[in-house]
Structures are given as C-alpha cells and as structure tokens.
Amino acid sequence: MNSSSGSVIEVSGLSKIYRSGLFRRRQFQALKSVNLSVPAGCIYGLLGPNGAGKTTLIKILLGIVSSTSGSASVLKHPAGSMAARRGVGYLPENHRLPRHLTATTALDYYGSLSGMSPAQIRAERPRLLELVGLAGRERERVSGYSKGMLQRLGLAQAMLHRPPLIVLDEPTDGVDPVGRREIRDVLKKLSKEGHTIFLNSHLLQEIELICESVAILNRGQLLKTGTVQEMTRALTDAPLQFQLLGSAERARKVFAAYPAAKLREVTAEAVEVEIRPSGQPEVDAVIDKLRLEGISIYRVARREQTLEEVFMTLVGGAV
Amino acid sequence: MRAILAILKDAFREAWASRVLWMALAAILLVLLALSPMGLDSVVSTQLRPYELVDTEEFLKQLRDGASAEAGPAHHIWTLLAPDQQDRVRQWLRDDAPQGRPARRIQSSVVDVVNGLIGLEKFYQPDAWKSPAWQSADIPETLREISPGESDPSVRATTNLKRLAAAFPASINIQDTTALVLSYGSLRVFGPLRLPPDQVESLINEIIIGVLSVFLGFFGVFASLMVTASVIPRTFEPGEISLLLSKPVPRTVLYLTRFVGGCLFTLVCAGTLVTGTFLLLWLRFDLWRPVLIACIPLYVFLFAIYYSVSALAGAIWRNPIVSLILVVVFWIVQVTASVVNDFMSLAWLPGRQLEELVITDSNVFAIDGSRNYLRWNETTGDWQAMLEDSNPNPLQVLGIFQPGARPRITAVADGNTVFAMQPEFSRFNQAGPARVFRGEAGDNFNRSGNGITPEPAFGIYRTRDEKLVLPGTRAVHQFKDDPEDIRNARNFFRDMLGGLMPGSGSAGFENVSPGLKLALRPDAAVAWNPADESIVCRDRDLLLLLTRSPEGKWSEATRRTLDRKKPALIAAGGDKVLMAEADGSIEILNQSNLEVVTTGSIPAGDKPKRVEMAPDGSHAAVLTHAGAVVVFHAADNVFATLTVDTPRTISGIRFVDGSQLAIGAGRSILIVNPTTGETLKSWTGQIQWPVHLYDYVVKPLHAVFPRPGDLDNTVRYLVTGESSVAVEDEGGAGDEDDLSAPRIVFNPWASFGTNSAFLAVMLLLGCLYIARSDF
C-alpha cells in the first residue's frame, strides 16, 4: 500500500466541457480550471451542490470521462491510466451490480477485474464481508439486497484489492443511521491503515465528522480547500458572542444600534449577545460602550461555524 | 488475462442465472434423446414406390385399355379395382386432369391403389393373366406359377411386384429389391420409405442441412440474439459502466470480451446440438461425419455477424429493443441484397446465357437459358429470335431462366434448315413427350411442322442420309418430316390463324428399333455418335450401346452393368465414349465393349453439366456447373482444364470438329482451340443495360456486402461435399438425378471474406465508440 507522503491526487487547470445535440453545438462547462491537491493518507471530502462537477471530477480522475483541458494525476500517474486505476478502489454513486451475482461472486468478479488472483480474493473476502456486515449473507443474490447492503458490498469491492486510494461517491446514500456510523468507522480505520479516501457526499455533517480536509466545488469552480478546522475557524466575519454580567435593559441600550443583535437573558444579571460586527474597530467600540454602561464582560469570542454554514456562505455567495 | 476470463465467466454466470441456457440445453437434449432410438432398417420390398412408376400416364392407359380386353394383367387388375377407383382412373386420364403439383398427388394415389391390390391372393391368377404379351414377357418361369411360399403375405407381395413390373415394362421399372423402414427402437413406425435405398444418405443430408439451417441458422441465432441483446446495453448502463471502467481493464478489451461472452451462449447451444447430431448419425445410422463438428464454429460465426450489429447498437443507444430492431433491419437489407443479386445471377443472366450451340457453314444457332431459339444476324451484329412460340411461357417472355428438360436443336450442314426439340412436362409432372418443329431460312426461320414424340426423347440428331433420329425412353424414333405440300398447308393455316398452330400428333414418328426393349428413365443419359451413328445409353447402372444397321435400324450391340447406380452424363465420338458422373469422376470408354480406357476428374465439389465429344473422338470436353471446361486429349490420353479468355461463365460447349470447340459464354459464342484455349472466332451479342447494372452495381455491391445467409452454403458443402444444388423445377424439388438440370453453383468459402470484414468493421466501430465516449 502506498502511504508515502505527498499528494495522491494532483489536479491542475482541469476543465471539462460537455457537448451535446445533433452537431454537438450545445455546450455545458462542468469544470472550470480546477486546481486541487489531495494529500496522502487523509480522508478528503469533496463538497458541492448538485451539478457542481464533483462526479465529473472523480470520473476524470478515473478515466471514465476525458478532460477538455488541464491535467490530473492519480498516485503520480496520469489520471485514467491503467497504472493509476490499478491503485484506486471506486464506489460510484448509484452503482449497479449485476443482479445475477452474489456477494461472493461479485467480489470474485471485481477482484479479478482489479488483477487479483483467485487465491488473493479468497483470502480477502471473508474479512471484508465481515467488515461491511455482510458475513452470512454472501451467498444471496444481490437482487435481493437492500440499498444499504448494496452500498456495503460496493464499499467492499472498492477495498478488496487494498488500493492506496479509495474514491467514494455518496457512500452512505440509502444507508440507515447505524449503517452510516459503521461505514464511518470503516473509513476511519482504513485511513488509519494508510489509505487515502476521497469522499464525495452531500451530507455535510458526515464530511465534517470524518474528513480532515475538504474542497468545495460549485458550478465547476473550486471555491475553497483546506482542513475542516481551517474552514470553520478562519472566517473573520464569524458571529461574535458576548457573555455579559449586567442587566438586560442596559445591554439592550448598548446594542440598540445593532438591530441584528441576538440578545438572550441567562439570569437577571447575566446576558448573552451575538452580533456580526463589520470589523475590529466596531468590536472595540462595542466593548467601550459596554464598559461605559457598567456592564462587565465575562467572555467575548467568535463563535465557531459549522461546515454547513461555511458551505452555505460560500455557495450562497457564489450564487 | 484474468480480467478477460472474469468477464467470460460472468457471461456464463449470467446465462446460467437467467435459466435461458438451461432451457435451451434441456430442449436440445430432449430432442436428441427423442430422436436417438430412430433408425433405418432394410427390408425386402413389398410395395411399388412412386419413382418406380416411371410413366404414370402409360400405366393408366394400359389399365383403362385392359377394361375392354378379354384377359391379361391389365384386364385382371382393372377388374380388381372398385368402381370408384375405375372412375378415378378415367378422370385422371381426362385432358383437363390437373398438372404440376396436384399431378404428383395423383401419381402417389395410383401407387397407393396398386399397393392396396398387390398383397391380395387374387392379385395374380395365372389364367386371368394369360395374354400374348404376358406369355412373351421375359421373366423366370417360376413367376408364372403360384409357389407355396406365397401363402406368406410378404412373399406374395414381393412376387406380385415382380410380376407387375414384368407385365408393365414400359411404365414400371423396379430398381431395388430392398426397401427402408423407419424404426423407433424395436418398433417399425413408418415405411417402407418411398425412396431408393441409395438415396437415403442424400435424404439424411438434406434433413441435417434443414435441421441445422432452421434450428441453428434461424431460430437458434435469433433466440440467442434475443437473449444476448441486453448484455452490452446493460454493461454500459451508468451505474455499471462507471464501476467497470474504474478497473484496470482497457475499454476495448471490456467491449470485445463482452461480445465474445455473448457468442459463448451460441457456442454452447450449437455445440450441443451439432455434437448430438453427429453422435446420433454415427451410432444410429452408421454415418461417420466428423466434418459436422466444423458447423459449430460456423454457426457461432454466423451469430457473431448479427451480434456485432446488436453490440454496436447496444453500445451507442444502450437499449436492447433498439439493438434487436437494427439487427432485423440489417437482416432485411442483406436478404434483399442477396435476393436482387440471386435474381440477376441465377434467373435473369442465366436466362440470357447461350446453352445449346450449333455452328454451320452459313448460320450460327443457339438456345438460351429461357428456351429462346436464336440465330446470329450478321446485319445487326446481334442474336435474333427464331422458331418463336405463338404461346410462349411468361418466363420465356421475361427472359428468365427456366429449369427442366433442355430443348435441343440440330441443323443441316448448309445451315438453311433447323430442327428443334422442345421437351414438355407430362401431366404427371414427369418428363413428357417433346414437340418437334423446324425452321427454314427461306421462311425466316419461322416455326413450322409440328410433331409430338410418342414418349420422352433424349435428343434430336441428323444422320448422314438426312434422317432425323430421336432416341426415346422405349425406342429409337425417326421423324418423318411433313411433305412439302403439307408443310405449306400448315404454314398457310398458321399465318391465317395469326400464329396459332394447327393440330399435331405422333403420326410422323417411326420406331426404328424393332425388337429393342428399352425402358429408360426420363433422366437417363443418351449420346449420339456422329462417326458411326450409334447411340450410347446410361441409365443408373446400365450401359447400353445401340448400333445402326445398314437398313437404318438400331439394335442392342453391347450391354454392361456397372457396380453403381449414379446419375451420369455421356457423350460419344469416334470409337470412344465419355462418361462423367455426379461425384466428378470422368471415364473414357472403348465404345465397342464399353470398358474403361482411362479416367480423370473435374474440380472437387463441382458437378458436370454438359459433356461433348468431337466427332472424330480426338477430343472430349466436360463443362461443369461452375463453368470450368475439362478437355480430354485422346492423342496424349490426358485430361487438362481449358482456360478461355471470357468475362462470362461458360454455359455451353459443342465441338465443331476435332480442332475447334464452340463455347457459349453469356451472349457470346467463341470458337476456341481445345488445346490452347486460343479464341479463333467469336460472335458477341449486344449487351443490354441490366447486364451493365449487374456488372457495375449489383455484383460489386454484393461482393463487398456481408452475406451471412451464404453460410448455409458452407454448411451444405460440409455436409454433402458438394458446391452446387439443383434448381427447383415446376414440381418444387430439385432434380439431383439429372446432372444437366440447372444447378446453383456456390463457392462455400466466398462469403467468409466479406462476412469477416464486416464483423471486423463492426467490432472496430464499437471499440472506437467505446474508447472515445464519456460515460
């Protein structure tokens, strides 16, 4: 397994234009000069609304779709090349496994396609089935599987040949909360084992829970990349929370100039206020006013944003 | 390699899981198991078979005439008939009795009636059969008496059958004393079969070809297409293709392996059916046919051609219904293209080919494939119709090739008078008597004179003393042409009636073989030797030489019984006889004793179509159905294939003399040197626009267009070893016994090139599409 340092995915100036129509006149630009670097050994989340270009980006990385311009490499090999694909395990969104297969034969089939020998497949199969919770049901036809079971089996086939990079497109789609948690645990375990996981999901909370780094894509443009912590803390326009000791009446007097201020009485002499100041001078001015009014400032801090808030801010701004 | 095996294995898993493969294999095995107890047992023949009733009309006439006789076989059999059967015999002999296919049923009914009587104790009663003809019949004396063994019904029937044949030698010809019975295990379920035992193998061959063509070539291929049409579209569904393409497998390998996986389904089904048939033939019918196994890849190849269309459509539109529709469209297009080509090459162009050639000092005559009599017009530089029929066959008018007995023509040396013979079908669909007529240069070669031979005739020949001789099935006849005043009167009536001919009959024919007891089948081969005016006959295993006496009578001179009963063609000249058989072997015989002098052969798989011998016996030639000419050079005692520079298939040959061979090719006659093939002289008719259409449009398109249907020809070749098949005649069946009858000649491997190229192009397009597409 390749768990060396460096990037497993490098994307530079990647663009994709889909053409359609009788004479291929209609055009749709799915990716606009995307630059991305995914470090090895992490769980990397790719965020974006529907139609943002996430799946197109993944398909270009796997050679399923060709790029219009720019370059991309996977595991130091050109994206889509045989060498690159050899090191990737992929679970597509809404994947469809042939209905005549069982979990056992499906792993045989996809393992062989990945270049594994029958002996290697036989050695890996029980562990993986156990890991994804399909042990005991491996001889049932997949046509009788639930959506969640199919997702687990899809995950198993992606992990079967122990690839350094696992690309998952909506892996928890259709999986119940317990199953989601189990999948999250599996992904964390894989990450600890040195696998790089490139995760595309709509579920922001999940990304926030397991991803170390994220990239936000909208309308084909990469809006932001970074660690989750960076994403949620670094924004200077995050709300400012005051914990004050003083009467609510006096506090209201101070914040009368801030209609958007959210004031909450905690006790008769304790108040919490949240404002969104335009800058540090305004923060200083508020503190001066509070002190003049005789209100003690117990604590003042910027509130940490959720990833969803960041996402909505970025995407909303882009809209 | 692992990936390829995995995809192939998955194709089997899929077929297995869908149960279609199970069902197909179970159905095939059930059919084979059901057929396995079948067999053919040889038994003593106790019944008359239709092919042994060689002249139904003559037999019925004798029976009817027997009604008014006092005694004799015909009279006795007539009295055994029930009144309604007697009425039917009278009806069958009426002029308005049905002809063609219905007539075959009548012949079959006559055989049934006879077989109903033949086992009766009262069928043969020595006193009732007594008549001058029966008394003089050439039979063993034991047949004249009823033996004690005849208390056994089968012995009685067998003996009565021999008596019947002896009593009606002109209309009944018993060929075999054994018959075949279809058995199922130890049960005899059907029979005796109404075909000669030596034709059983041919029948089995036709059944094999039919079963393979229908069950594998049509239903098998289309059933497989319906099962596999979804394989490629399903593979390229978004949810599945993304996963597959993420694996380290090249797209083209994925596509091609999926394609091969689809073909494996057909391989398993075809392999089971063909191997089962092979084992069945071997174990039950003692026919060792290992070449049948070659039919397995052949049918997989046939399927692959259609499936390549389905796969490409499936990859592009990802819809099995669209795939199937496009396969059907492709099938319609290729069938239409083949039909157009076949019509042009097998019906229209052969209708224009010159088949019979007569070269005289002043005129050149020919008969084309649509039975038009032609003469060369020096003024127009083209062929001109002559001896035109006032009531021609519509096919003749359209210039479409007509199968059936071939017309003949002969001309006096100066070329100013021609005599023609036009065979006609009898009402019982057997070769019937022939019309004989003449044309003269002074009358612009209009048809005049009109006689009908008393029986089917094999040719019309002119003796040195200007007599017309027509060897028939029962005797040699001489045509006494009408005196000039009668001929003039006929011409007058003909002109007055606007071309309608006055009545005609057999009165003008004289039997010039008194005492000769001939009973030739209408498809026997008869040759005229112009050197000594002898006649040589070959009928199945019989070889007969008839020589002419100074009084102008023909009698039997030499007879030889061969060890085989095969159809053959025969020619005579000088002191030699040439005999070409259906298996392609050629024998040169010494005419006086009919013994073999030397042997040769025509190209393998081909069959002889015409044989000719130079009048002096210096050369002989065999024209094959594929258009090859094999020449025998008597001086060197060798056979050699003649190469002639002609763009058309050679359709007719005739020796002008020992050093000149006339060759008919398309609308041309070439006089060539029989040794070098050098053209010495030629007459080339004008080429009509449909010929150009065929040459420059239909033929090139047909050459490059895929022809999966032609693979049936390959199967036929593998099963029978023959590369031609007899054209259906009016009766609906090809006449395999008449070698000169038209045959469709095919190159069993010709379509492989275009079919392989088409398959490669379709797969290449599929690979290109898959390689360049986003999924």
* Residue-level pLDDT at A221: 92
Six token digits for residue B144: 């004249």
Which of A99, A109, A120 should be substituted to probe chain B, the one whose Cβ sees the most B Cβ atoms within 10 Å?
A109
Which of B247, B252, B255, B770 has the most A C-beta neighbours within 10 Å, making it the best mutation to test the interface with A?
B247
Residue B398 pLDDT grade (very low, low, confident, very high; cuts 50, 70, 90): confident
pLDDT in tens, B72-117: 899 999 999 988 888 888 887 776 655 544 556 777 888 888 988 9
> What's the CA gap between B131 and B732, in Å, rounded?
40
Q: Is pLDDT above 90 for A247?
A: no
Residues of A in contact with B261 (CB under 8 A): none
Pick the residue of B18, B22, B237, B246 with the most A CBs within 10 A to test the interface with A by mutation. B246
Kindly report, residue by residue over B433-476, the tens digit of the pLDDT. 888 888 988 888 998 877 888 888 999 999 988 889 999 988 99
The answer on pLDDT for B31 being more than 60 is yes
β-strand partners of B681 = B671
A158-202, pLDDT tens digit by residue?
999 999 999 999 888 778 888 888 888 888 888 888 899 999 987
What Cα–Cα distance (Å) separates residue B280 from each residue in B32, B559, B748? 8, 42, 25
Q: Measuring CA to CA, how many Å separate B10 from each of B57, B354, B488?
A: 67, 60, 87
CB contact under 8 A, A115 and B10: no
Q: How far is B23 from chain A (nearest CA, A)?
A: 17
pLDDT digits (tens, 9 = 90+) for B296-316: 999 999 999 999 999 999 999
pLDDT band at B428; cut points 50, 70, 90: low
B237 contacts on A by Cβ (under 8 Å): 96
Given a cut of 70, whether residue B519 has pLDDT beyond it is: yes
Residue B51 DSSP class: G
Measured between CA atoms, how close is B244 to chain A, in angstroms? 8
Kindly list the distances between the CA atom of residue B141 and the CA atoms of A225, A285, B130, B144, B633, in Å, as whole numbers in the listed order. Answer: 118, 149, 13, 5, 49
Say yes or no for a CB contact (<8 Å) between A85 and B237.
no
pLDDT band at A237 (very low <50, low <70, confident <90, very high): low
Which residues of B are less than 8 Å from A63 in CB distance?
245-246
Distance CA B307, CA B299 (A): 12
3-state secondary structure of A217: strand
pLDDT band at B699 (very low <50, low <70, confident <90, very high): confident
Distance CA B103, CA B431 (A): 13
Which of A64, A97, A114 is the closest to B775 by Cβ? A64
pLDDT at residue A113 is higher than 70? yes
The whole-angstrom separation of Cα A99 and Cα B703 is 44
| Sign of the four-CA dihedral A232, A233, A235, A240 | positive
Per-residue pLDDT band for B733 (boundaries 50, 70, 90) equals very low
Q: What integer is the mean pLDDT of B721-739?
A: 64
- β-bridge partners, B608: B624
A192 CB-near residues (< 8 Å, 6+ apart): none
> Tokens for A58?
């993944």
**Who among B2, B7, B247 is closest to A85 (CB)?**
B247
A167 contacts in chain B (CB < 8 Å) = 246
Q: Which of residues 100-119 of A touch B (CB under 8 A)?
A: 100-101, 105, 108-110, 112-117
Nearest CA of chain A to the CA of B224: how many Å? 18
pLDDT of residue B752: 87
Q: Dihedral sign, CA of B366, B370, B373, B374?
A: negative
Query: Rounded to the nearest 5°, which phi and psi values hold at B478?
Result: -115, 135
Residue B376 has, within 13 A of its CA and on its CB side, a CA count of 23
Q: Is residue B322's pLDDT more than 50?
A: yes
* CA separation for the pair B703, B710 (Å, rounded): 12
User: Residue B555: exposed, middle, or buried by beta-carbon count in 10 A (0-12, 13-18, 19+)?
Assistant: middle
Say yes or no for a CB contact (<8 Å) between B774 and A97.
Answer: no
Give the distance from CA B285 to its chain's centroid.
25
- What are B367's strand-pairing partners? B356, B373
**Cβ neighbours of B22 in A, within 8 Å:** none
Alpha-carbon gap, residue A148 to A181, rounded angstroms: 12
Query: Contact B239/A113, CB-based, under 8 Å?
Result: no
Question: What is the model's pLDDT at position B499?
Answer: 44
Predicted pLDDT at B732: 42
Q: Using an 8 Å Cβ cutoff, are A48 and A56 in contact?
A: no
- pLDDT 10s digits, A17-41: 998 887 778 889 999 999 999 999 8
Q: What is the mean pLDDT of residues B548-552?
A: 93
**Rounded Cα distance, A167 and A149, in Å:** 18
Q: Is A203 on the interface with B (CB under 8 A)?
A: no
Helix axes A103-113, B2-18, angle to 10 degrees: 150
Asked, as a colleague might, if the bond just before B192 is cis with ω within 30 of 0, I would say yes
Strands B743-745 and B724-726: antiparallel
The answer to whether the Cβ–Cβ distance between B247 and A114 falls below 8 Å is yes
Distance CA B196, CA B301 (A): 36
3-class SS of residue A52 = coil
Kindly state the percentage of chain B with pLDDT values over 70: 92
Cα nearest neighbour of A155 on chain B? B243
Confidence bin at B502 (pLDDT 50/70/90): very low
Chain B contacts of A86, Cβ < 8 Å? 248
Question: What ipTM was reported for this prediction?
Answer: 0.83
Min CA distance, B260 vs chain A (Å)?
16
Arithmetic mean of pLDDT, A125-139: 90
Contacts of A114 in chain B (CB under 8 A): 247-248
**Rounded to 5, what percent of chain B is helix, strand, coil?**
45, 25, 30
Give the model confidence (pLDDT) of B52-73 as tens digits: 887 788 888 888 888 888 888 9
Q: Are strands B608-613 and B619-624 parallel, antiparallel or unpaired?
A: antiparallel
pTM over 0.80: no
Encoded amino acid at B36, one letter: S
Question: Which residues have a Cβ under 8 Å from the Cβ of B411 and sit 6 or more positions away?
Answer: B358, B360, B363, B365, B417, B418, B419, B462
Rounded to whole angstroms, how far apart are CA atoms B45 and B195?
11
Mean pLDDT of chain A: 87
Between the alpha carbon of residue B40 and those of residues B20, B112, B399, B526, the distances in Å are 34, 22, 45, 34
Whether residue A50 has pLDDT greater than 50: yes
Query: In whole angstroms, what is the distance from residue B330 CA to residue B310 CA?
Result: 10
Q: Do A98 and B238 touch (CB under 8 A)?
A: no
Q: How many Cβ atoms are within 10 Å of B519's Cβ, its own excluded?
A: 18
pLDDT digits (tens, 9 = 90+) for B235-269: 888 888 999 999 999 999 999 999 999 898 889 88
Quick check: B680 and B673 in contact, CB under 8 A?
Answer: yes
> Radius of gyration (Cα) for chain A, nearest Å?
25
Task: Read off the pLDDT of residues B334-363 as tens digits, 9 standing for 90 and up.
Answer: 889 889 988 888 888 888 899 999 999 889
From chain A, pick out residues whose CB is under 8 angstroms from the CB of B2.
112-113, 115-117
Asked if residue B558 lies in contact with residue B590, where contact means CB atoms within 8 angstroms, the answer is: no
3-state secondary structure of A88: strand
Q: B-side interface with A, Cβ within 8 Å?
A: 2-3, 5-7, 9-10, 13-14, 16-18, 234, 237-250, 774-775
Other beta carbons within 10 angstroms of residue B663's beta carbon come to: 27
Residue A319 pLDDT? 42
- Is A96 part of the contact surface with chain B (CB cutoff 8 Å)? yes
- Cα–Cα distance between B380 and B359 in angstroms, integer? 18
In this structure, what token pair is assigned to residue B320?
A: 């099995």
**pLDDT attached to residue B20:** 77
Q: Percentage of chain A surpassing pLDDT 70? A: 96
Helix, strand or coil for residue B90?
helix
Write the DSSP assignment of B32-77 as a string of letters.
HHHHTTEEEEEEE--S--GGGB--HHHHHHHHHHHHTSSSSHHHHH
Query: Given CA atoms A101, A105, A109, A114 in this order, what sign does their dihedral have?
Result: positive
Contact assignment for A85 to B238 by CB distance below 8 Å: no
Structure-token pair, residue A176:
């119940």
d(CA B610, CA B622): 6
Best A57, A96, A102, A147 member to test B by mutation, with max B CBs in 10 Å, is A96
Mean residue pLDDT across chain B: 86
d(CA A160, CA B135): 99
Model confidence over B133-166: pLDDT tens digits?
A: 788 777 788 888 888 888 888 889 989 998 998 8
Q: Are A168 and A198 in contact (CB under 8 A)?
A: yes
- What's the confidence (pLDDT) of residue A43? 92
Tell me the Ramachandran region of residue B171: left when phi exceeds 0, alpha when psi lies from -120 to 50, beta otherwise.
Answer: alpha
Q: Describe the crossing of helices A118-132 and A147-159 by its angle, rounded to 10 degrees.
A: 140
Please give the backbone phi and psi of residue B117, each rounded to the nearest 5 degrees, phi first.
Answer: -95, -30
Spatial neighbors of A91 by CB under 8 A, at least 6 apart, are A151, A154, A155, A157, A158, A166, A167, A168, A169, A171, B243
User: Which pLDDT does position B362 carry in this prediction?
Assistant: 86
Place of tokens 């020796």: B655
Q: Does A75 touch chain B (CB under 8 A)?
A: no
Most B CBs within 10 Å, among A68, A113, A170, to test the B interface: A113
B2 with A115: Cβ contact below 8 A: yes
- pLDDT at residue A234, rounded to an integer: 47
- B544 has which bridge partners? B537, B559
Torsion, CA B226, CA B230, CA B231, CA B236, rounded to 10 = 160
Distance of CA B451 to the CA centre of its chain: 28
Buried b (16+ CB within 10 A) or exposed e, B120-130: eeebbeeebbe
CB pairs under 8 A between A and B: 89
Which residues from B are below 8 Å from A154, CB to CB?
Answer: 243
* Amino acid (1-letter code) at residue A164: P
